[in-house]
Structure 1
Amino acid sequence: MQSTTNYLWHTDDLLGQGATASVYKARNKKSGELVAVKVFNTTSYLRPREVQVREFEVLRKLNHQNIIKLFAVEETGGSRQKVLVMEYCSSGSLLSVLESPENAFGLPEDEFLVVLRCVVAGMNHLRENGIVHRDIKPGNIMRLVGEEGQSIYKLTDFGAARELDDDEKFVSVYGTEEYLHPDMYERAVLRKPQQKAFGVTVDLWSIGVTLYHAATGSLPFIPFGGPRRNKEIMYRITTEKPTGAIAGAQRRENGPLEWSYTLPITCQLSLGLQSQLVPILANILEVEQAKCWGFDQFFAETSDILQRVVIHVFSLSQAVLHHVYIHAHNTIAIFQEAVHKQTSVAPRHQEYLFEGHLCVLEPSISAQHIAHTTASSPLTLFSTAIPKGLAFRDPALDVPKFVPKVDLQADYNTAKGVLGAGYQALRLARVLLDGQELMLRGLHWVMEVLQATCRRTLEVARTSLLYLSSSLGTERSSSVAGMPEIQELKVAAELRSRLRTLAEVLSRCSQNITETQESLSSLSQELVKSRDQVHEDRSIQQIQCCLDKMNFIYKQFKKSRMRPGLGYNEEQIHKLDKMNFSHLAKRLLQVFQEECVQKYQASLVTHGKRMRVVHETRNHLRLVGCSVAACNTEAQGVQESLSKILEELSHQLLQDRAKGAQASPPPIAPYPSPTPKDLLLHMQELCEGMKLLASDLLDNNRIIERLNRVPAPPDV
């Protein structure tokens, strides 16, 4: 046990160790509060006095939630060694988070954004106080879990920090070689004499490497054999990197250098976030200081990302979920352009549903009017694109092999790599299953929209047909048969014949719509069965079960690697564990391939066929709707013409009746003919019927106009 006046710790509670100090978990003697104490060793006192006190002075000057707090500076009782009493972070460092097999391919998007926000805020506070850290790396970013379960990351280890303005330089070398700026690497690691001075931008290089590591789970610059085994190639990669490249690797011994301008496909960050992040990495991972961004631009660009909101958009036709990052004050037009960049669907072809309802997005209004979305409840985008599905790398390609002999360190490393690939398979399995659910749910909503369109169009067609049939049924053939041959009556008869034709067209349209409804109902029933199958899928549970058992063996290997060797019985158990671990990994990957990937690919094929049916049905409904609307419009015109003719005839008969009253009685006709009174009554009857029909048709047209103002069913 060791102690100072107010704090007590055991040397077994080691949190970290460096060249000049060790960090332990300690307690306040009075309150029992957990703290971290940094105890300096004898080597630290060989440094100049100003260097020894620099860390105390820097920490006393800083006060920020994303920088580790300094509580006190005390001394041990016996040796009187200096002790820094600091805030204790129980969740380890960002490095320990990345070392976990779950994060072998980088952090989830939400957690990465937390890291970015905390690092940017902490670094901004350092620059406001004129301090350069000089040893930024995941091991010096501690993680604390807040009261609401959220991660809080804090910069720590200010042993290499010093005050430095933006235009000042320094010549001393500090830092960890994988994260060092190439100019510092050349002098500190390669031991090459050079007279370069360094500025505050060396922290930006370290931040770039750290952010790449957090996003991908690996370092950006990797020579064959690793950074520490091939230092000359490591230096070549960092200094020969082309502008715009964010990573470089040498795949084989003495092989060529390969450059990457994007993040790897295994990365968990969405393409929407990657498109914002990659330019930042490219501009801070620049060797030439003239090309490298300064802190002002770095803070401006990262703050721009952090101030954006994400809108989740599922492209139903492509079967891909997108994360669209925009500012809340942006317009819908800007949002649509962002969607266009990710989906290649032009804004004029973008139509959306949200939770089963059509979304009318006016380009000029604020994007704040878009509903709150999540990955499980996104906007559903319609287009005529070909389904392509999620692009991913098969986790089996990243599974290392165990060496035949017992090698505790090698076995641990292999188990860690296999477990990392297993967790990647689990994540992909969930994404593929969620994708199937979103496809089926989106199609279900489209069915509902098309069914609603059918109902509205059918209602209009049937209403029009009912009015036409009722009006045509008022004709009394007995009255018309004996009427004199009047040209106006011939025209009226032709118009009524046209109304009968329109009624027949509407009848056929009604029958057509009814058949379409039955077809849609059949497809909806298929969707229900498919969704039930997705909900009954147990592949996720099977993969998780394998992972749990593999994780137990991995923890055993993790303990064993710290031992110098194993006894005979323990070694036999270790060999059996290796066999079981390999068997579980094989089973996991088999489930992933046969239960997840194959079903997903089959669902994509079926989805494509269904989308074609939906697209054809929608186009068909448009044609039928146009026919119904045209029939209504024409019927209204015919009725108006007929009504006009009947009014003229009625007026003429009234005049003839008045004249007939003054004239002599007509000669007796060989056949009885309708009296003017009967003809007048018939014309008035027809006129009233046509007026009623005109009124009904006018109502129908108003309904159609309202339907036309409602957004059409989406293009699918």
Structure 2
Amino acid sequence: MFYITTKKASGVISGFQTSEDAPITWSRELPASCQLSHGLGALVTPLLAGLLETEPNKIWTFEQFFSSVTQVTQAKRAQIWTWHVHTCQMLRIYPAVKELNFELLSAEIEKQSAVAPAHQLLLHNQVQVKHDRWPLQTSRQKPLILFHRENNNVALVDAGEVPKFPSFQTPVQLEADATVSKSCCSVGYCAKRQTEHVSQASTLAEEATKGLSRLISRETAEVDALRAQTLLLASVLWGRAQAVIKAQEIIAKLKPTISNSLSEDLRRKQVEVSRLHVELEKLAPVLKQLSSKDLLKEWLNLSEGLSAERGACEANKVSSLVARLKDSWQHLLRDRATREPSYNDEQFHLLERIKASETAKKIVNLLSTQVLPFAAALADSLADWYKLAQTSFLQVEILKRDMLQAQSQLERLQESYEILEEMFLSNAEVSASRPSSPAEDRKSRSPTPSPMRSPSPPVPGGKTSPCRSPADVLAVQEEINQLLKDNSHLISFFNSLSLEMPDLDD
């Protein structure tokens, strides 16, 4: 200890030896075998560096020490559990500030997972986590589920390898046997952590697949409902334009001097609406195909034999064997305290040695034949399933973006329609109040019947009454107003649909 605290360099907090009396390999980071999480290790590292500092001018004061300890304890109370699907690791986020917003959370997740915020897909209780759904409570059993939007590879990073247990020496030595059994117990606990990690991964994999499947189903249903509403809105806009075009044609026949450019503008708008209508109709087969996909069923097929119950069963088996191994270590430890054991004590000592060796072999066999193959198969199945789910999720996002674009185009067309309708109404009022010109009167007295009104009945004496007059113009205006009144329910319906349109950013 004197050598460690006096000879190490400044800032060094750990070191290891490959053998007894071998040189120490120093490090400024915690060793890989440290059981602290990455998030807590980042908080503890400067604390250890300050405590183990050898240079007097860099040694921490009591205020610095207690301030760092307070920061660690406060952060630990507010920790955020996040399960990374692609590495099957449980990340623990320890916020450095009291109020952790969504942007800071994404940045902290990026530090531990190397997943950029733009590529993060976070779920909690089968709901996508966004700015408006934060903050929320997490736990080891109900963590945030982190998916990578672009990457679909999965690997159990902490699954480990088959452990190697030390063997007992051939001549019975009480001191050496107690030391070997203690080492066997330590290796057994490492194997126990491996199996618990695999068991937790199998449980959270089911939760992750279920949550993402239901999210995709809900998003698909929302996009389909939006498509139906957008189609209806397009039909309403087309009908409004058609009503104004017909009314404009009536006025143009009554007043030939009035320009017909308004109808041409409306027809161009109708063409745009028709184009949007056709594009939305083409999306129906794609949405139907997405709706028919059962991702949960796909996961059940891919993960057959990889249930969470099986993972928990394997973990319980290893836990039971480790408890038996610890019991053997306790017996051998008591034998060491007996300096001169009797013959019976020696025989029991040999039995405990054999028991510890056989238990270690069972643990090795269980990990090599059951646990590690289970972990590899689980990672492969999860990767294959996420490839399907990722494709569906990206398709839904693209369709959602297309729907939003179509909706914005319809909103712009609606504004254009309202402007053109106001122009039409003002033109209709002007044409009704303005007296007819002599040319229009002569044309109105021509024998050609109006397409909108039946010819006047013959007058006795062979004379015919004029078929066009200011009164006739007023009658036509009343007819136009009736057309607009007939379509007013379409306008009201369109406005109500616009108000009831769901906010798709939620």
**Class of the TM-score when normalised by the shorter of the 2 chains:** 0.7 to 0.9
Give the counterpart letter for 2:284 in structure 1: S
Unaligned segments of structure 2, at least 5 residues: 455-471
Q: 1:624-675: per-residue Cα shift (whole Å, max 9, x none)?
A: 1232233333345446656736973993997499858897643257xx8443
One of 123, 139, 146 as aligned partner of 1:353: 123
| Whole-Å separation in 2 of the counterparts to 1:395 and 1:421 | 12
| Whole-Å separation in 2 of the counterparts to 1:341 and 1:440 | 26
- Contact 2:328/2:356 (8 A) holds in 1: yes
Higher share in strand? 1
CA drift of 1:416 comes to: 1.7
**Matched residues, percent identical?**
20
Q: How does 1:134-149 map to 2 (within 5 A)?
A: none
Q: 1:532-582: per-residue Cα shift (whole Å, max 9, x none)?
A: 811343101221232233333333322322223555565455434433322
Structure 1 SS opposite 2:359:
helix
Match of 1:620 in 2: 395
| Whole-Å separation in 2 of the counterparts to 1:361 and 1:498 | 36
Match of 1:300 in 2: 67
- Contact 1:312/1:374 (8 A) holds in 2: yes
CA drift of 1:462 comes to: 0.7
- Contact 1:317/1:384 (8 A) holds in 2: no
Structure 2 SS opposite 1:707:
coil
One of 284, 309, 312 as aligned partner of 1:535: 309
One of 402, 416, 425 as aligned partner of 2:182: 416
Q: How does 1:11-26 map to 2 (within 5 A)?
A: none
Give the counterpart letter for 2:446 in structure 1: P
Q: 1:189-244: per-residue Cα shift (whole Å, max 9, x none)?
A: xxxxxxxxxxxxxxxxxxxxxxxxxxxxxxxxxxxxxxxxxxxxxx3x54332222
| Whole-Å separation in 1 of the counterparts to 2:116 and 2:204 | 22
- Contact 2:82/2:146 (8 A) holds in 1: yes
- Contact 1:464/1:700 (8 A) holds in 2: no
Q: How does 1:250-649 map to 2 (within 5 A)?
A: 250-252=17-19, 255-308=22-75, 309=77, 310-326=79-95, 329-332=98-101, 334-346=104-116, 352-361=122-131, 370-384=135-149, 386=151, 389=155, 391-392=157-158, 394=160, 396-397=162-163, 399-469=165-235, 492-493=266-267, 495-519=269-293, 522-527=294-299, 530=303, 533-537=307-311, 538-566=313-341, 571-638=346-413, 644=420, 648=424
| Whole-Å separation in 2 of the counterparts to 1:343 and 1:654 | 71
| Whole-Å separation in 2 of the counterparts to 1:335 and 1:640 | 41
1:492–1:327 Cα change, 3 Å: closer
| Whole-Å separation in 1 of the counterparts to 2:41 and 2:416 | 66
Unaligned segments of structure 1, at least 5 residues: 1-177, 183-234, 364-368, 711-716
Match of 2:503 in 1: 706
- Contact 1:396/1:421 (8 A) holds in 2: no
1:653–1:258 Cα change, 3 Å: same
Q: 1:162-182: per-residue Cα shift (whole Å, max 9, x none)?
A: xxxxxxxxxxxxxxxx5xxx2
CA-based RMSD of the aligned residues comes to 4.1
Q: 1:660-713: per-residue Cα shift (whole Å, max 9, x none)?
A: 8897643257xx8443899979866764576555554445555557224x2xxx
Match of 2:453 in 1: 675
Match of 2:462 in 1: none
Q: 1:59-102: per-residue Cα shift (whole Å, max 9, x none)?
A: xxxxxxxxxxxxxxxxxxxxxxxxxxxxxxxxxxxxxxxxxxxx
Q: 1:328-374: per-residue Cα shift (whole Å, max 9, x none)?
A: 624425554433332334456656433233444479xxxxx733322
1:278–1:319 Cα change, 3 Å: same
| Whole-Å separation in 2 of the counterparts to 1:497 and 1:362 | 39
- Contact 1:629/1:704 (8 A) holds in 2: no
1:655–1:425 Cα change, 3 Å: same
| Whole-Å separation in 2 of the counterparts to 1:551 and 1:354 | 39
| Whole-Å separation in 2 of the counterparts to 1:423 and 1:329 | 36
| Whole-Å separation in 1 of the counterparts to 2:42 and 2:49 | 12
Structure 2 SS opposite 1:353:
strand
> Normalising by the residue count of structure 2, what TM-score does the alignment of the two structures yield?
0.76
Q: 1:574-621: per-residue Cα shift (whole Å, max 9, x none)?
A: 434433322221221232344333322333333334444444333322
1:653–1:662 Cα change, 3 Å: farther
One of 440, 443, 446 as aligned partner of 1:666: 446
- Contact 1:262/1:278 (8 A) holds in 2: yes
1:395–1:489 Cα change, 3 Å: closer
- Contact 1:639/1:690 (8 A) holds in 2: no
- Contact 1:319/1:389 (8 A) holds in 2: yes
| Whole-Å separation in 2 of the counterparts to 1:640 and 1:334 | 40
Q: 1:224-272: per-residue Cα shift (whole Å, max 9, x none)?
A: xxxxxxxxxxx3x543322222233332366433123333333322111
Structure 1 SS opposite 2:192:
helix
One of 423, 428, 431 as aligned partner of 1:651: 428
1:421–1:473 Cα change, 3 Å: same
1:419–1:467 Cα change, 3 Å: same
Higher share in helix? 2
Structure 2 SS opposite 1:312:
strand
1:582–1:394 Cα change, 3 Å: farther
Structure 2 SS opposite 1:371:
coil
When structure 1 is superposed on structure 2, of 249-258 and 381-390 the one drifting more is 381-390
| Whole-Å separation in 2 of the counterparts to 1:303 and 1:385 | 39
1:680–1:590 Cα change, 3 Å: farther
Give the counterpart letter for 1:416 in structure 2: K
Structure 1 SS opposite 2:94:
strand
| Whole-Å separation in 1 of the counterparts to 2:364 and 2:27 | 28
- Contact 1:422/1:589 (8 A) holds in 2: no
- Contact 2:163/2:191 (8 A) holds in 1: no
- Contact 2:188/2:325 (8 A) holds in 1: no
Match of 1:84 in 2: none
Q: How does 1:179-198 map to 2 (within 5 A)?
A: 182=2
CA drift of 1:415 comes to: 1.6
- Contact 2:39/2:112 (8 A) holds in 1: yes
| Whole-Å separation in 1 of the counterparts to 2:497 and 2:147 | 30
